[in-house]
Amino acid sequence: MTTVTEQLVKHIDEAYAMEQNVLRMLDRMIETSEDPAMKQHLQQHKHETEQQAVRLKTRLEAHDASPSMVKEATGIVGALMKGVLDMARGEKAGRNARDGFATEHMEIASYELLERVARRAGDEETAQVARVNRLEEEAMAEKIAQSWDKAAELSLREAGVEGTAPATSS
Ligand SMILES: [Fe+2]
């Protein structure tokens, strides 16, 4: 038997561990990003992510819990992390954009669930944290979405293809 509050704590804990993994992922992306604008977006989002983790930790503490760094949460971003950390071959710009976009959407999904579980547990503060964090992930996903053309171009250049121009551009 388990209570909704116990499940809520588990969700907050997983979100916290997820953000810790995302921080490592962002570090690697900042390191490998050659586009100044994207580098700046990533740095800003790293700062936001640190604040997100602090907010989650505060909610864990409100439930007399502390981060356990659960294995499942490592698994959530694990596959994506692997892609980012394995930068032996080129195409960093494209892979960073792809994996970054996927990660932001995974985070958005986690916060959509967390917000609802928090409401069911009557924990408005955690619901609010989930909402605030989600809005930041959505903004970051949007920034990545605006850079697809540039990411594709940089990717091709990294792979040694020169002088390509898109047939159409958006
Ligand atoms: Fe995040």
Name the pLDDT band for 170 (thresholds 50, 70, 90): low
- What CA–CA distance (Å, rounded) separates 74 from 60? 18
pLDDT tens per residue, range 105-159: 999 999 999 999 999 999 999 999 999 999 999 999 999 999 999 999 988 888 8
- What CA–CA distance (Å, rounded) separates 139 from 81? 21
pLDDT tens per residue, range 17-63: 999 999 999 999 999 888 899 999 999 999 999 999 999 999 999 99
pLDDT at 58: 98
Residue at token pair 């909402």:
131
Give the Å distance between the CA of 6 and the centre of ligand 1.
22
pLDDT at 131: 98
Q: What are the structural domain ranges in the chain?
A: 4-158
Specify whether the CB–CB gap between 130 and 114 falls below 8 A.
yes
Give the Å distance between the CA of 104 and the centre of ligand 1.
7
Considering only residues 62 and 72, tell me which one the structure prediction assigns the higher pLDDT.
62
Give the Å distance between the CA of 168 and the centre of ligand 1.
33
Q: Is 6 helix (H, G, I), strand (E, B) or coil?
A: helix
pLDDT at 79: 65
The CATH number of the domain covering residues in 4-158: 1.20.1260.10
pLDDT at 72: 57
Give the Å distance between the CA of 5 and the centre of ligand 1.
22
35-52: string of b/e by CB count within 10 Å (b at 16+)?
A: beebeebbeebbebbeeb
Considering only residues 77 and 156, tell me which one the structure prediction assigns the higher pLDDT.
156
70 φ, ψ to 5°?
A: -55, 145
CB atoms within 10 A of CB 115: 20
Name the pLDDT band for 94 (thresholds 50, 70, 90): confident
pLDDT at 33: 87
pTM of the model: 0.87
Give the Å distance between the CA of 149 and the centre of ligand 1.
24
pLDDT at 32: 87
